[in-house]
Structure formats: C-alpha cells, structure tokens
Chain A
Amino acid sequence: MLDTIQDMGRHGFGNWGVNPGGAMDGYAAQVANLLVGNDKHEAVIEIHFPGPQILFEQNTLIAITGADFSPTVNDEVIPRWQPVVVRKNTVLHFPSLVQGGRCYLSVHGGYCLQKWLNSYSTSLKAGAGGWDGMPLKKGDELAFNESHIYFAGLLKEENNFEALPWRVNTEKIYQYPHEVGFIPGHEWPLLSDAGRKAFLENNYIIHPSSDRMGYHLSGAPLILEKPIELVSSAMSFGTVQLLPGGRLIVLMADHQTTGGYPRIAHVVSAHLPKLAQLRPSDAIQFKLMDLAAAEQMLFSRQKELHILQRSCRDHLNEMVC
C-alpha cells in the first residue's frame, strides 16, 4: 500500500520546516541493516501491508524485520529478524498480515540511491529523498550497492534461500505492545485532576485515519481547565497533542516540524517502535514514566545494538572468508 525508502531520519533542517521523517520503527530498521552487515544508517524499504512482490535479479543477502507479513520466497516461508541469502530470480512476497504495522527490508550493501539533505528518507511532502520523493510502485527497479561477497557459495544446491544462523531476540523491545510509556508534556499540569486520571486509566484506540504523520486516538475527550492559545513551536516524534475538540493525536515520524496545540505528553523514545507496530483499532494504555528511566532504556538499547552490530559483522566475516 505504501512502500517507501527510509533511514534513521533527516536531522538538522527543522529551521527550514523540513521534518526528520525516517523509519516509523527505527529499531526494526536499524536491526534490518545490522543483520546484513550494513551500517545502521543505510536505506531500507518500509513496507505497509499489503506489501509488494519483489524479484531479485541477483543473489542477495537480505533481512526482514518489524511487522509479520509472513514473508515468503517463491512461496516458501522465510524467517524474520534473521539474515537470509536469496537466490537470483526468486520472488519475495508478503501474502498475509499476521501482526504489526510495517516491516523493513534491508539488502547487504544497501540500496544505490542519492541522499537529499544528508538522508535517504522519502519526504512525500517535499517530493525529495529516497526514491525521488515518491513511494515505490510496480515496475520500479532498485539497484544495490556492489558487494564483494560471493553469495552463491552460501546457497545449497537447489534451495531458493538460505537463512544464516544468527538472529535477534526482540522479545523485550515489543513486550506489552499496548503499554506506551510517556513523560508529561508542558501543558499536562493544565489538565484537571479528572483529565489526568482519565488519560492514565483509559484505553485509547488508534483511529483508521492514522498514518505516518500521526495517530489519531479515540477515547474519552480531554479538556484543559483553562483553554490556552499557544504560538507555534517545535514538536517531536511522540508528542501527544490535544486538539480543540478534546481529541488526542500522537505525532509520528512524518510529523510537522512545528505546531501550536497543547502538549499533553511525550511517548518515550524507547516505546516508539512498539507504537509504530500498532495498527488502527489497536488499543493504547499510557503509562507515566520519568525522564531518567526513559533515558536509561535508550542507553541499554544502544548497548545491545552495538553488540549486535559487532557480532553480525564477525559472523558474516567468518561465513564468507
């Protein structure tokens, strides 16, 4: 439905109104790259269900992370969160949605694309970045950066693919998928006691109009004790804004750089991957956290990613040397 080139975002151009964009689930996108020995900033394809069919015109090392769209190669199921060598002239397909919002496809060496403002991410608004600022469509041909690895050597006889023997345990990252940690926003104290209680205790449902820009939430409307008009200021990925009618919107990867609605809460960065994997009509339960705990989660995740990067490269070197 919507398949775009993304990376870890276009940072540093907010003063021009250019938003970071980037992968909705930055964790899955990074891991997809690390599994195949890439730098975490390489471009990946972000895939929404129903996904594309992709013909590989050469032997390729790929990884698929994020949502489970039951990927197959020539109709045989392939593992996710694990590097897979696929044979030349096979077709990758995503026949059914099992779980999650978007998945990521990396190729060893990365896709051969031009950066715009220092990033591969597709900005549909600006019509720039990624695949010339556009979603991928039927018939598009993407080139890979050249690889020195002889993948044919890793494929057994007639097999269409070969899963390499290392994978990532993502249990902790996506645990309690509906529990989303937040730290209070600047206008949080302007909610009534009852409003804050409602926000903490009620479930919110992701509305079908949600997309890469933001998740609209249905649930008990919230009202500020004293309405406040704010001049526009910067917003961030995960900011929960209170709209004039009392509805909430969580700003996601393609959010506008600035806005003027009250900031009730900010989803903690470590939980954005979970949120990115939720779909319309899924429920969210907000959980109050403190800043120190939010930071700590990011630090330990970063450590794990470092270890993953090192071990993937070591494994890959052992396999091919």
Chain B
Amino acid sequence: MLLNYHPVADPLSSYSIFPLGDSAVTIDLGNCIDEQLNIRALALHDWLQAHRSPGILDIIGAYSSVSVFFDPPIVQASGVNGSCGVGQWVEGLLNEAWTATSGRIAAGPIVEGHTFRIPVCYEGEYAPDMQWVARHKGLSTEAIINIHCAKTYRVYMVGFLPGFSYMGTVDPQLELPRKQLPVNVVAGGVGIAGLQTGIYPLTSPGGWQIIGRTPVKLFDPRLDPPVRLQSGDRVQFYPVSQVEFRDLTGRPA
C-alpha cells in the first residue's frame, strides 16, 4: 500500500475530485504521506462535517484524501442539488470545501490532537518479527527499539480495522516492505511497513512486520468513543519488559 513519500512540488495547490461509485465522492490532495496534506484533509473533513445536509452518510478522512458517502435518493429528495445530478452536487460541495479551507491551513489544524505515550513490549513472543527485522536491517534489537521509540508519530488516519491507526513517519532505517502473505496478528501488535507504524487493535490477519505488542486497549466497543486514537493525535512509544506488560494487562505471568 505504499507509496510515494516524496511530496509533490507544491502539494497544497492541486487536487482532484472523482466519484467512488454512485454513492461516494473522493477529493484527493496528492498521493503521498505528508503532514501538510494530512492537515489539509482534516480541515476538509471538519468543514464537511460542519456542513452536513440530509443524505450525507459519512465523511472519511485518509492520508491525503477525504471521501463523502451519501444516499442518493435522500439527497435528491431534499432538493439541495437542484437540477444537478446528486454525485455532481457532492463534487461541487467538495470544491466549495476546498475553497473554504484554503486560507486556513497556514494557521494549523482547527482542533489540536492529543498526545499519547504508549507502552510496548518488544520482547519474545510479543515481537514475532523482531529477529527477522534485525537480520534484514543489520541492526541490534536494542537499536530498533531505540529508533522506533525516538520519534513522536502523527496519527494520519484510522482505517482498515476499527481503531487501526496509521502513524508515521518511521525513521528510514526501519523502512521495510509488507509481508507477501498476511499472517495472524494478536490484538495489540505493533507493526511497521514502509515508513508507517501502527497498532492492531483487534486480532486479525495482517501484513505488517510485528516488532512489539502494547497492553493498551485501543478499541473497546463498550466505550464512547470506542477508539482511543484519532486522526491528528500524536503517539510516542516506550519500551516495557514482559513482566511489566503482564502487570499492565493484569494477566498472570
């Protein structure tokens, strides 16, 4: 799922809008992982949320895009689209959102994200791919942990699974491809892929290299909101031992 990490010359001056079927439209700001583009996408998302009209079902922000999902008959019945097709009207709405948020970007995000410190056990069974990563990169386990914990990461988007946060960017020393075939990843698994890092909130098949596991629950359907991390948040990892991990989860050793 990667990636052109190299921002285009003037990433904030161009965009494209295209249908994602007959019930969704996407505005794409440029196919890359870039903090400025992501901030812009968040601003677009927030503007669209604030200007929701009947029939708009969802607004999903991603790395450098925002998609608006809608129910065409409800939009049509509300009459907002006039003589336009519904999809066409939503494209117009996205254009309007682009213009409305253009001046705002220099001032930074509308809502500052939260910063979280998240414990990760990088040892033993909790880090099934650590040895492979160490060999592949010619680094010691210790060096990998230091590099992974040195940066504060931005949560660029949440997707794939409930509460799966795509964070970055990882130091290029740890840049690695995804696995060819997904394997089962236990909930809490902390993975890296390309210049991204993320946490599997649920046990699921996954293709990222798993270098640790966090005892922190990032998704709990009984909580409101059920997810801990959201776009625009910041995350710093810190290492804990296996004993500390078990203490934190309350599980017996």
Which one of A17, A18, A234, A294 lies within 8 Å of B65 (CB-CB)?
A: A234
> Is the pair B86, A295 in contact by a Cβ cutoff of 8 Å?
yes
B190 within 8 A of A: no
B54 within 8 Å of A by Cβ?
Answer: no
Give the distance in Å from the alpha carbon of A260 to the alpha carbon of B207 in the complex: 13
Please tell me if A291 contacts chain B, counting CB pairs below 8 Å: yes
Stretch of B16-24, B92-100, B136-144, B209-217 contacting A (4+ beta carbons < 8 Å): B16-24
Cα A63 to Cα B45 in complex, Å, equals: 41
A108 an interface residue at 8 Å Cβ cutoff?
Answer: no
B160 touches A299 (CB 8 A): no
Report yes or no: A298 in contact with B159, Cβ–Cβ below 8 A: no
Contact of B22 among A20, A123, A260, A298 (CB under 8 A): A298
Contact call A11/B57, Cβ cutoff below 8 A: yes
Chain A residues within an 8 Å CB radius of B230 = 15-16
Alpha-carbon distance between A127 and B217 when the two chains are bound, in angstroms:
14
Identify which of B62, B64, B219 contacts A126 (C-beta below 8 A).
Answer: B219
Residues of B205-249 contacting chain A, CB below 8 A: 219, 221-222, 225-227, 230-231
CB of B18 within 8 A of CB of A232, answer no
Instruction: Determine which of A129, A229, A236, A298 lies in contact with B24 in the assembled complex, contact meaning CB atoms within 8 Å.
Output: A236
CB closest chain-B residue, reference A12: B58
B115 at the interface (CB under 8 A from A): no
Enumerate chain B residues within 8 angstroms of A233, measured Cβ to Cβ.
26, 28, 62-65, 67
Please tell me if the beta carbons of B73 and A298 are within 8 angstroms of each other in the complex.
yes
Residues 204-243 of chain A, each 1 if its beta carbon lies under 8 Å from chain B, else 0: 0000000000000000000000001111111111110000
Q: A125-B204, A231-B1 are in contact. Are A295 and B158 (CB under 8 A)?
A: no
Q: Contacts A125-B204, A230-B1: A269 and B23 contacting too (C-beta < 8 A)?
A: yes
What distance in Å separates the Cβ of B115 from its nearest Cβ neighbour in chain A? Answer: 19
> Scoring A residues 264 to 282 as 1 if CB is less than 8 Å from chain B, else 0, what string do you get?
0011110000000000000
Choose one: B28, B33, B60, B166; the contact of A14 (CB below 8 Å): B60
Contacts of B86 in A (CB 8 A): 295
CA distance A19 to B76 in the complex (A): 24
A interface residues, tally (CB under 8 Å): 53
B128 beta carbon closer than 8 Å to chain A: no
CA distance in complex: A292, B81 (Å): 13
A302 proximity list for chain B (CB < 8 A): 73, 77
- The answer, yes or no, to whether A166 is at the interface (CB within 8 Å) is no
Does B126 belong to the interface (CB within 8 Å)? no
- Rounded to whole angstroms, the CA-CA distance of A294 and B88 in the bound complex is 13
**Shortest Cβ distance from A16 into B: residue:** B227
Question: Is A238's CB under 8 angstroms from B3's CB?
Answer: no
B-contacting residues, A250-308, CB 8 Å: 256-261, 263, 266-269, 291-292, 294-295, 298-299, 301-302
Q: Is the pair B160, A269 in contact by a Cβ cutoff of 8 Å?
A: no
Q: Is the CB of B191 closer than 8 A to any CB of chain A? A: no
Residues of B within 8 A of A152 (CB): none
Residue in B22, B61, B77, B85 whose beta carbon sits within 8 Å of that of A268 in the complex: B22
Q: Is B21 within 8 A of A15, CB to CB?
A: no
Is B21 a contact of A17 with CB atoms below 8 Å? no
Q: Give the distance in Å from the alpha carbon of A14 to the alpha carbon of B253 in the complex.
A: 37
- Residue A133 lies at the interface, judged by CB distance under 8 Å to chain B: yes
- A307 → chain B closest CB, angstroms: 13
**CB of B202 within 8 Å of the partner chain:** yes
Chain A residues within an 8 Å CB radius of B3: 229, 231
Assess the A229–B58 pair: CB atoms within 8 A.
no
Asked whether any CB of chain B lies closer than 8 Å to the CB of A116, the reply is yes
Closest to B62 in A: A233
A291-B159 contact given A13-B58, A126-B219, A186-B26, CB 8 Å threshold: no
How far does the Cβ of B116 sit from chain A's closest Cβ, in whole Å?
A: 16
Interface: A31 (CB within 8 A): no
Q: Is A183 an interface residue (CB 8 A)?
A: yes
**B163 interfacial contact with A, CB 8 Å:** yes
Which of the residues A11, A13, A17, A263 comes within 8 Å of B20, measured between beta carbons? A263
A164 CB within 8 Å of chain B: no
* Closest B residue to A303 using CB positions: B73
B19 lies within 8 A of A299 (CB): no
- Name the residue of chain A whose CB is nearest to the CB of B222: A128
CB distance from A205 to the nearest CB of B (A): 23
Chosen A-B contacts, 8 in total, with CB atoms closer than 8 Å, are A126-B221, A183-B22, A231-B4, A232-B159, A232-B160, A233-B64, A295-B22, A299-B76
- Having A185-B20, A258-B60, one finds 5 other A-B pairs with CB under 8 Å, namely A14-B59, A126-B219, A232-B159, A263-B20, A266-B19
The 3 closest A-B pairs by CB, nearest first: A258-B159, A266-B21, A260-B1
What is B's interface to A at a CB cutoff of 8 Å? 1-4, 18-24, 26, 28, 31-33, 45, 57-65, 67, 69, 72-73, 76-77, 85-88, 157-164, 166, 201-202, 204, 219, 221-222, 225-227, 230-231
